[in-house]
Every structure is written in structure tokens, then in C-alpha cells.
Amino acid sequence: MTVQDAIISKLNEGLQPTYLDVQNESYMHNVPPDSSTHFKVVIVSKAFADKRSVARHQLVYHLLANELAGLVHALALHTYTPEEWQTRSASAPQSPNCQGGGH
């Protein structure tokens, strides 16, 4: 199972999202080809209701503790309730270009 597949599986199981998009953005960074180190996660879940952004991120970090302790160097999180997602017209911000560095 790839790192991306593990992230998808754990988030689906732990948060039962109504929308989930996990993108491997490693190619945008100064890492070897075919790396799995930088990910963007857009997740819409009722589990985020009545939770601030920090608490939402903590839920995700808890579910992905093994990945974050190992291969995953960066995780861009965009966490929404279904109502927030609808208000945003079902779109999340684009990731910025890599600012350089060794990771």
C-alpha cells in the first residue's frame, strides 16, 4: 500500500468524509522523483462540526501519526464541514509553489 493509499484509508475510516481528496505534491518540491513526502488533503466531514481549525487538524494528525512520524514531511490540510464546503462552492485553495530548501 502506498503512503497516499494509507492516508486515504485512515481518513475514510476515521472521519467518514463526504468528500476527500489526497494529492501527492512531492513533485512540486526538491525531493527525489516518485517521492511520497508532501501531501495536500482536502477533507469534508461532519466530524468537524463545532470544532476549530486546530482541533480538526489534531484529529487528522492523530489518525496519520505513523505516516507523520515516518515518510511524510509536509501535510497541507483543508478541513471543512459539509456546510462550509458548500459555502466555498466545493473548492479549496491551491498550494503555493515550493520556496526551495532540501525537503
22, containing H or E segment: strand 19-24
Any idea where the domains of the chain sit in the sequence? 3-85
Q: What is the mean pLDDT of residues 93-100?
A: 69
To which residue does cell 496519520 refer? Answer: 64
CB contact at 8 A, 28 and 98:
yes
For domain 3-85, the CATH class is alpha beta
pLDDT for the residue numbered 73: 84
CA distance 100 to 95: 14
CA distance 81 to 83: 5
* Tens-place pLDDT, residues 26-41: 877 777 777 777 899 9
Judge whether residue 4 has pLDDT over 70: yes
Backbone angles phi, psi at 57, to 5 degrees: -65, -40
